[in-house]
Amino acid sequence: MNEQEHIDKLMLELRRGTITIGVLSQLSSPQYGYSLVTMLNEKGVPVEPGTLYPLLRRLEKQGLLESSWDTNEARPRKYYVLSEMGKAVYEQLCKEWEGIVRSLDDLIHTRKDEENGDD
């Protein structure tokens, strides 16, 4: 494995968890699958439909999302929205995430400072 492949693999693992938070963040109002893909892509969180659609179903099954079919449009679309539990979980996740960012920032910057100090 070369350097790039290692990075790709680690990034994949890193993204996997963050996608869920990204998805939950956009679902305070109902969205259907593809609109979410576009939205997340625009905001710099690239996600493949092949990943997102199964993820949405899984989150629904876990009770974090609720869904309803909209058959009024040209094609039937399944709209997802946060459930009560989903909202609570999302809020907690956000706190956890901020905690992680803070701690990692700290770790990364402390190390940089040390390196600079050594120089």
Partner 1 sequence: MIERYIYAVTQKLPQNQRDDIAIELRGLIEDMIEERIGSGEASNQVVEEVLLELGSPREMANKYRGTKKYLIGPELYDPFLIVLKIVLISMSVGLGAVFVIQSIITPPEILDHFVKLIVALVTGLPQALGWVALMFVLVEYGGGLKTKDLGLDKAWSPAMLTAIPDPKRRIKRSEPIIAIIFYVIIMVWFAFSSDFFGIYVFNDNGFKEVVPFLNEEAFSMYMPFVLLFFATFIVKECLKLISGKWTMKLVGYTTVINILGIVVIFFLITGDSFWNPEFMNDLVQAGVVAEGSEGYQIGEAIWRNSTRITVAILLIGLVWDIIDGWIKARKK
Binding residues for partner 1, per CB under 8 A? 32-34, 38, 48-51, 53-54, 57-58, 75-78
CA 6 to chain centre: 22
Which residue's CB is nearer to partner 1, number 17 or number 54? 54
The least CB distance from residue 13 to partner 1, in Å, is 16
What tokens appear for 21 in the block?
A: 């938070």
The least CB distance from residue 32 to partner 1, in Å, is 7
The least CB distance from residue 105 to partner 1, in Å, is 30
Phi/psi at 74 (nearest 5 deg)?
A: -55, -40
Q: Report whether 65 contacts 52 (CB < 8 A).
A: no
